[in-house]
């Protein structure tokens, strides 16, 4: 059985409803975990609404806590695979069957795979451009290029939350989401801990999904995506970058790349952000709190 978990926070109703209807056609069990503002899902379709497991967290508890809640319910239902989604994902109706087949193919090859994911692109960009994946090879972080054949499976270092199909047994064995990260790096942290435990992560370029990664399409410079975030979101990004870099399961190569990325993003944000003063304050506070080891929701 496949479960699909959607985490929402004041979603846009038509976009979320379209996602939920799509998932009802390809998952055995669909959970919507509401961090706030999503109580009116599928208001125009009560029959479909009745098929959704709605969970209200009574306030924003963050992505990690919401995913852990959804996983607990899915495992109680006997689901062996769990797919995770953000509220603005746009999966084709063939996504979950396709990703499940990837899992089964890897299992036949004897590969201990924790999760697989699709290639993804920003749904708001004028020109369709897939976002890159990365893998550490010989102490260097390499961009994973499109496989020679679309059906090929490619190993990567991490996947994003949306569209990730996870073997449920990985979660039951203790690799759960860190609720303290709240937003950014929740998925990366889970992936790095899964790989440290001996699991592998794969993407299939045959499976594609549209997704919105930030408040607006990102600016691409120096091989990095610079997301257009609010000052509060910048706080979480910089704080969690520091918290993540400090973990023992993050390699030296990734630490170097992330430190360079923090510095570059800090400078670019000061140039391009329309709310420079507010962003400077929140980025600086995020760095300070990360060094002090603070986590959880911003107070």
Domain that holds residue 264: 219-292
User: Do 194 and 230 fall within a single domain?
Assistant: no
Q: How many domains does the chain have?
A: 2
- Give 211-259 pLDDT, tens digit per residue: 665 555 555 555 555 567 889 999 999 999 999 999 999 999 999 999 9
Cα of first residue to Cα of last residue in the chain, in angstroms, is 39
Q: Are residues 225 and 200 in the same domain?
A: no
pTM: 0.92
Q: Taking a C-beta distance cutoff of 8 angstroms, is the pair 120, 209 a contact?
A: yes
Give the residue from 259, 271, 281 showing the smallest Cα distance to 219. 271
CB-based burial, 193-211: b 16+ in 10 Å, e otherwise: bbbeeebebbbbbbbbbbb
Domain match, 49 and 182 both? yes
Answer yes or no: do 173 and 267 share one domain.
no
Clarify whether residues 195 and 272 are in a common domain.
no
Residues 138 and 119 placed together within one structural domain of the fold = yes
Q: Are residues 171 and 234 in the same domain?
A: no
Does residue 180 share a domain with residue 106? yes
The span from the CA of 176 to the CA of 268, in Å, is: 34
- Cα–Cα–Cα angle for 88, 94, 96, nearest 5°? 70
| pLDDT tens-place values along the chain, 299 residues long | 999 999 999 999 999 999 999 999 999 999 999 999 999 999 999 999 999 999 999 999 999 999 999 999 999 999 999 999 999 899 999 999 999 999 999 999 999 999 999 988 766 655 566 778 999 999 999 998 765 555 578 999 999 999 999 999 999 999 999 999 999 999 999 999 999 999 999 999 889 897 665 555 555 555 555 567 889 999 999 999 999 999 999 999 999 999 999 999 899 888 888 889 999 999 999 999 999 999 999 98
Taking residue 59's Cβ as centre, other Cβ atoms within 10 Å add up to 9
Does one domain contain both 287 and 247?
Answer: yes
Token pair 């899964």 is at which residue?
A: 194
Task: Clarify whether residues 51 and 148 are in a common domain.
Answer: yes
- Does 299 map to a domain? no
44 and 146 in a common domain: yes
In a domain? residue 297: no
């Amino acid at each position: 059985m496949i479960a699909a978990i959607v985490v929402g926070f004041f979603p846009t109703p038509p976009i979320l409803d379209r996602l939920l209807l799509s998932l009802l056609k390809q998952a055995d069990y669909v959970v919507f975990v509401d961090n706030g503002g999503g109580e009116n899902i599928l208001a125009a379709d009560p029959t479909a609404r009745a098929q959704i497991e709605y969970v209200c967290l009574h306030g924003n508890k963050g992505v990690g806590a919401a995913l852990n809640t959804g996983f607990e319910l899915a495992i109680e239902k006997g689901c062996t695979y769990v797919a995770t989604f953000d509220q603005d994902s746009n999966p084709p109706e063939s996504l979950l069957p396709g990703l499940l087949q990837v899992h089964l193919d890897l299992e036949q090859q004897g590969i201990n795979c924790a999760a697989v994911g699709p290639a993804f692109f920003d749904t708001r960009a004028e020109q369709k451009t897939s976002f890159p994946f990365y893998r550490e090879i010989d102490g260097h972080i390499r961009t994973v290029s499109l496989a020679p054949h679309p059906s090929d499976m490619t190993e990567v270092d991490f996947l994003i939350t949306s569209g990730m199909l996870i073997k449920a047994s990985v979660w039951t064995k203790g690799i759960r989401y860190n609720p303290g990260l709240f937003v950014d790096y929740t998925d990366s942290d889970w992936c790095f801990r899964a790989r440290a435990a001996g699991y592998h992560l794969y993407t299939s370029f045959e499976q594609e999904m549209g997704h919105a990664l930030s408040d607006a399409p990102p600016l691409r410079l120096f091989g990095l995506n610079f997301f257009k975030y609010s000052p509060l979101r910048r706080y979480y990004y910089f704080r969690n970058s520091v918290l993540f870099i400090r973990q023992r399961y993050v390699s030296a190569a990734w630490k170097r790349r992330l430190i360079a990325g923090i510095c570059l993003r800090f400078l670019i944000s000061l140039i391009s952000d329309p709310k420079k003063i507010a962003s400077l304050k929140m980025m600086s506070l995020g760095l300070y709190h990360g060094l002090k080891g603070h986590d959880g929701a911003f107070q």
